[in-house]
């Protein structure tokens, strides 16, 4: 059995268009994720799933230059939720996928490390900049510590 990581990457993101190839500390956001996944000893394969839309040609070109597999398919998913996220399909087809849940040692319901907005991009860049030369090698605890330093202000 092979273990793989699939990165869903579309240039036409609704919330932050072009985010997958936006520069973040000198290299595209997608490159940061790919580089971290390549260091994993648990993964046998890494691939990117994107659309056949011409706007995603740049994503496919990135994959070719990074020497990772790129699957291009139609954006016409069977269900609306499958157009935005690939995981609903996986969860509704347990006969096709072996699913495991990971449980955090400490619950952190407000921890936010995703990039969905311009503000998120700025925050993640601040975290990586603060990490300096260690940015590409941060472990989870170090990333959480820095994320807490740069967490968005809570509004009441």
Which residue is listed with tokens 């936010």? Answer: 112
**May I ask the CATH class of domain 1-100?**
alpha beta
pLDDT, position 77: 65
Q: Is 66 exposed, middle or buried (0-12, 13-18, 19+ CB in 10 A)?
A: middle
Which residue is listed with tokens 């595209």? Answer: 28
Q: What is the pLDDT of residues 108-131, one digit of tens each?
A: 888 888 999 999 999 999 999 999
Domain ranges of the chain: 1-100, 102-156
CB 127 within 8 A of CB 147: yes
Which residue is listed with tokens 């072009």? Answer: 18
> Nearest CA to 46 among 66, 28, 27?
66
Q: What value does the mean pLDDT take over residues 129-138?
A: 91
Q: What is the pLDDT of residues 40-83, one digit of tens each?
A: 999 999 999 999 999 999 999 999 999 999 999 887 766 666 66
């Amino acid at each position: 059995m092979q273990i793989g990581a699939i990165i869903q990457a579309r240039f036409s993101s609704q919330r932050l268009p072009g985010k997958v190839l936006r520069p973040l500390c000198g290299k595209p956001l997608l490159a940061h994720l790919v580089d971290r996944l390549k260091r994993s000893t648990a993964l046998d394969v890494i691939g990117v799933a994107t659309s056949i839309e011409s706007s995603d040609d740049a994503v496919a070109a990135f994959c070719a230059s990074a020497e990772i597999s790129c699957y291009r398919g139609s954006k016409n998913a069977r269900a609306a939720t499958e157009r935005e996220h690939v995981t609903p399909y996986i969860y509704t087809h347990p006969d096709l996928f072996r699913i495991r849940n990971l449980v955090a040692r400490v619950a952190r319901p407000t921890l936010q490390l995703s990039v969905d907005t311009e503000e998120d991009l700025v925050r993640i860049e601040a975290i990586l900049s603060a990490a300096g030369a260690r940015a590409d090698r941060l472990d989870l605890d170090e990333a959480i510590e820095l994320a807490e330093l740069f967490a968005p202000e809570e509004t009441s």
